[in-house]
């Protein structure tokens, strides 16, 4: 706990109640490599992504539920290795976490968008879209949360990212939804 507060990078991620936390405060070293599976994702700019197995199954369930409701969710990014996070960070230091501090390195996070009338709706526009609103409301039943809710930067350290979903399992996701700020930090009492 003390190490984590000091921001020391760990070879295995900081974990509370079996929930992995990776952030600027709780970093991992380049030797952390989660076990991953390949998930085929249809027509999303990327043909397949890598995630940890439970997150992969949950993503398929979430995308199928979205499709039933008329939303064609697509995945823009999932697992990112240390080198790819480093490249992403070099490219955009404002919206991207430095290597070691990104949840994408856990294989438990996805960036989503939606295709509507053949057009890709992403970023904040995704958050404002019907698909984004549906995702915010229904992600928890598949075990996902919108990890960085609006107006919670003080708690999460990250500005609003309606596209970034994090798999934490249905029970924890329900717990996060029940907290006043809808943040994982508050649910795990590490805020």
Task: Give the interface with Zn ion as residue ranges (CB under 5 A).
Answer: 111, 164
CA distance 5 to 61: 35
Q: Which of 58, 55, 107 is nearest to 81 (CA)?
A: 107
CB 31 within 8 A of CB 11: yes
Q: How far is the CB of 2 from Zn ion (least distance, A)?
A: 28
123 vs 170, beta carbon nearer Zn ion: 123
CB 93 within 8 A of CB 100: no
Q: How far is the CB of 84 from Zn ion (least distance, A)?
A: 12
- Is 161 annotated as catalytic? yes
Write down the catalytic residue from 103, 161, 171, 185.
Answer: 161
Specify the DSSP class assigned to residue 46.
S
Nearest residue to Zn ion on Cβ basis:
164
Is 34 in a helix, a strand, or coil?
coil
111 vs 185, beta carbon nearer Zn ion: 111
Q: How far is the CB of 77 from Zn ion (least distance, A)?
A: 6
CA distance 166 to 101: 14
Q: How far is the CB of 109 from Zn ion (least distance, A)?
A: 5
27 vs 164, beta carbon nearer Zn ion: 164
Terminal Cα-to-Cα distance of the chain (whole angstroms): 13
CA distance 152 to 29: 26
CA distance 126 to 187: 25
1 vs 94, beta carbon nearer Zn ion: 94
Q: Which residues are catalytic?
A: 161
């Amino acid at each position: 706990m003390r190490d984590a507060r000091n921001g020391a990078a760990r070879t295995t991620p900081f974990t509370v109640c079996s929930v992995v936390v990776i952030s600027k405060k709780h970093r991992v070293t380049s030797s952390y490599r989660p076990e991953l599976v390949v998930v085929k994702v249809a027509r999303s700019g990327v043909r397949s992504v890598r995630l940890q197995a439970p997150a992969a199954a949950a993503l398929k369930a979430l995308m199928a539920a979205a499709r039933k409701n008329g939303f064609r969710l697509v995945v823009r990014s999932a697992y990112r290795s240390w080198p790819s996070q480093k490249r992403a960070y070099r490219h955009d230091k404002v919206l991207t976490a430095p290597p070691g501090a990104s949840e994408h390195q856990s294989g438990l996070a996805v960036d989503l968008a939606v295709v509507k009338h053949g057009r890709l709706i992403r970023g904040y526009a995704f958050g404002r879209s019907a698909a984004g609103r549906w995702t915010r409301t229904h992600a928890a039943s598949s075990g996902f949360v919108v990890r960085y809710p609006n107006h919670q930067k003080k708690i999460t350290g990250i500005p609003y990212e309606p596209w970034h979903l994090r798999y934490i399992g249905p029970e924890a996701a329900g717990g996060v939804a029940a907290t006043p700020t809808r943040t994982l930090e508050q649910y795990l009492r590490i805020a």
